[in-house]
């Protein structure tokens, strides 16, 4: 049982580069899944870089979320090394984020919390990166939404397992 679970709800954070495209999209999708399932979990997101701190989500992210019936309120923030103690699951959106998070992790327990989003999608195949849609069009954001939604049920199951083992 992690420290976060011992303190209360299961906590999940998604991490991408600037915390304005992929990770806020994943945050809002999973948050809705968690609410619909009535799970005791908190879902948020952050970025590996700090240049967008305080910014809202990219307008194309907001558009994609709203098109699919999700909320979109967001303020970007940068993931901090000390946050590992606050989370049960830290989900990287691509291999670069995974490397950066592993470099920040101080302990094996911290490293064990880090997973790639697409590792929760049994149909993902060998490429587990969620591509960055920032320099692309709405179609790229729709593709990211599809990848996130495919992984969400697996993440929900991971949350269930975590809550069960804590109880």
pLDDT per position in the chain (167 positions), as tens?
A: 444 445 579 999 999 999 999 999 999 999 999 999 999 999 999 999 989 999 999 999 999 999 999 999 999 999 999 999 999 999 999 999 999 999 999 999 999 999 999 999 999 999 999 999 999 999 999 999 999 999 999 999 999 999 998 76
In contact, 19 and 51? CB cutoff 8 Å: no
User: How far, in whole angstroms, is CA 155 from its chain's centroid?
Assistant: 10
pTM assigned to the model? 0.94
In the three-class reduction of DSSP (H, G, I as helix; E, B as strand; rest coil), residue 136 is classed as coil
> What's residue 166's pLDDT?
79
Which sequence positions are flagged as catalytic? 16, 22, 132
CATH code of the domain covering residue 87: 3.40.50.2300
136: region left, alpha or beta (phi > 0 left; psi from -120 to 50 alpha): beta
Tell me how many domains the chain contains. 1
Residues 97 and 38: their CA atoms lie apart, in Å, by 30
Instruction: Note down the domain range covering 87.
Output: 3-166
In contact, 36 and 156? CB cutoff 8 Å: no
């Amino acid at each position: 049982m992690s420290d976060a679970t011992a303190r209360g709800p299961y906590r999940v954070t998604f991490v991408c580069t600037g915390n304005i495209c992929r990770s806020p999209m994943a945050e809002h999708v999973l948050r809705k899944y968690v609410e619909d399932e009535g799970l005791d979990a908190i879902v948020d997101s952050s970025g590996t870089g700090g240049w967008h701190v305080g910014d809202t989500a990219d307008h194309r992210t907001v558009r994609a979320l709203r098109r699919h019936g999700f909320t979109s309120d967001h303020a970007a923030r940068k993931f901090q090394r000390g946050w590992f103690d606050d989370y049960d699951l830290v989900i990287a959106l691509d291999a670069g984020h995974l490397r950066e998070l592993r470099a920040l992790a101080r302990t094996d327990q911290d490293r064990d919390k880090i997973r790639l989003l697409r590792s929760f999608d049994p149909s993902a195949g060998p490429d587990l990166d969620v591509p960055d849609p920032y320099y692309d069009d709405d179609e790229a954001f729709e593709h990211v939404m599809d990848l996130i939604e495919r992984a969400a049920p697996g993440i929900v199951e991971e949350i269930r397992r975590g809550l069960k083992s804590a109880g």
